[in-house]
Amino acid sequence: MRFAGRDGLTSMTSQEAHLTQRNASALETLPGEIHGDVIRPGDAEYDRARTLFNGAFDRRPQAIVRPRSAEDIAAALRDARTSGLPVAVRGGGHHVAAFGSVDGGLTIDLSLLRGVSVDPERRVARVEGGALWSDVDRATQPYGLATAAATIASVGVAGFTLGGGIGRLARAHGLAADNLLSVELVTADGRHVSASDEENPSLFWALRGGGGNFGVVTAFEFALHDIGPEVWAGPLVYRIDDAPRVLQTMRDLIASAPDELNVSATIVRSDGNPRLVLNPLWIGEQAAADRAVQRLRDAATPVNDLYGPASYLALQSVDVPGGRRSWETSAFLEEPSDVTLDALVAHAADASLEAPRIGLLPLNGAVARVPGPVTAFGGRGAGWLVSAGGTWDDESEDVAARTWIDQLHGAVAKDATGVGYANMMGEGRPVYPQWTHARLRSVKAAWDPANVFRSNHNIAPFA
């Protein structure tokens, strides 16, 4: 990976400069081949268009293509293959490793493909490949419907879903990938194909957790569920001294709680002090809403208790600004022991970052009822997901910040499965068990043998 230097620019070797010049020549005909936008260095919109959510990266593609159709995507890929251009695909652009852009190559930016159509009778949403989760929730909530979405409004549907997709409806309705009915995509050789349980089933298996390794998604079909318009939600905030006891209570509660209850935990810093924040969501009967979280309130007195009736759409509209430097890592856990929970609290309290974050999410309920071999999601069978991340502004803090973040793995090693979550993981650590990785390599060899789609947690095809 390459971080931006102090002047905001990345250094370029003579070999890269030669490649960039060659690529620039190869792209001369591209504006005449597609109906969408082609943005090049020197264009007024170029700097804004290439900006990524993670401010630590300063990628400079030779062209940013905003397609309007599958045909536009096929034309862009054809030029990339002909000229040997590296390719990146951008949906929401949130991934911490900046997979949504590539230096000296071609970025396919799907932001013009954000349409969502809802069939309330079939309880199905058709979602274009560049849509954000805010687009989906705004379209489905008028019918009192939703699917298993991300918790941040501006996260892209494609990247989130292809990586598995762990959200606040996971215990009730599974992962985003578990709710997929079909996928339409453009493959590396320019074909527009569909994948489902009936059509190209091996590809469909791989798309549900295998990331963007297999093509550029133009549309998804998701199953919808009765959610909202009102739910019960809102944070319970605790002093850090109470965090070990509260986290133990949360773990024990979730082990036997009905699927209608989901609770995630985050340790963050507020006014310079670490705080534990629980985020319960209850989608069951209103009369049972308070009873569902009573054990959490009894474990310790919250310093702030905002749990109550809430608009599901408002809950899903929460967003976070980009632009700061950031990093993230994660690990799937079998079951966090008391020792591990204590270690997480101590690790959070020890952070020197301005905005550190430790997260803990349950993976039982509907997620656990999907057999492991059914999808390529690497965390199936784990009981929990733990993550560490943070944001900062000064480049001089990069090493210390990333060191603290990566130390998460030492804190949870005794309970970890050995892999992390692709959507919450930088580069350099495994995101698939061995058997899953081997099968993904086989599917990759069938659909992208030249590894055109490699700006991701890459699956190298079998030769």
Q: Which helix (H) or strand (E) holds 358?
A: strand 355-362
Note the pLDDT of residue 19: 46
Q: Please state, in angstroms and rounded to a whole number, the distance separating the CA atoms of residues 81 and 87.
A: 9
Residues of the chain with pLDDT under 50: 1-19
Same fold for the pair 14-109 and 230-424: no
Q: What is the DSSP string of 386-453?
A: EEEEEEES-GGGHHHHHHHHHTHHHHTGGGB-S---GGG--SSS--S-HHHHHHHHHHHHHH-TT---
Q: Which residues pair with 156 in a beta bridge?
A: 132
Return phi, psi of residue 314, to 5°. Answer: -65, -40
CA distance 120 to 225: 10
3-class SS shares of the chain: helix, strand, coil, % to 5:
35, 25, 45
8 backbone φψ class: left, alpha, beta (φ>0; ψ -120 to 50): left
For domain 230-424, the CATH architecture is: 3-Layer(aba) Sandwich (3.40)
Q: How many CB atoms lie within 10 A of CB 334?
A: 13
Q: How far apart are CA 408 and CA 18, in angstroms?
A: 41
- The identity of residue 149, as a single letter, is A
Where in 40-123 does DSSP place strands (E)? 63-66, 87-90, 106-109, 116-119
State how far Cα 81 lies from the chain centre: 27
- Cβ atoms within 10 Å, residue 339: 12
Phi, psi of 373 (to 5 degrees): -70, -10
Q: Are 325 and 393 in contact (CB under 8 A)?
A: yes
CA distance 108 to 27: 13
The top-level CATH class assigned to 14-109 is alpha beta
Longest dimension (CA), the chain: 68
pLDDT at site 45: 96
Supply the Cα-derived Rg of the chain in whole angstroms: 22
The residue type of 322 is: G
Q: What is the dihedral of CA 266, 269, 275, 277, to 10 degrees?
A: -30
**Cβ atoms within 10 Å of 43's Cβ, excluding its own:** 14
Residue with structure tokens 């059509």? 199
Domain 116-227 has CATH 3.30.360.10: no
Q: Please give the Cα distance from 13 to 10 (Å, whole number).
A: 10
Do 336 and 385 meet the contact criterion of CB atoms below 8 Å apart? no
Q: Is 254 exposed, middle or buried (0-12, 13-18, 19+ CB in 10 A)?
A: buried
In this prediction the pTM is: 0.93
With H, G, I as helix, E, B as strand and everything else as coil, classify residue 85: coil
**What does the domain layout of the chain look like in residue ranges?**
14-109, 116-227, 230-424
The C-alpha atoms of residue 147 and residue 125 are separated, in whole angstroms, by: 9
* Cα angle 236, 145, 221; round to 5: 115
- Integer Cα distance of 152 and 288 in angstroms: 27
CA distance 387 to 424: 7
- Lookup: tokens for 339: 């020792």
Q: Identify how many contiguous H helices and E strands the chain contains and give both numbers.
A: 14, 20
Bond prior to 430 in cis (omega within 30° of 0): no
pLDDT value at residue 32: 74
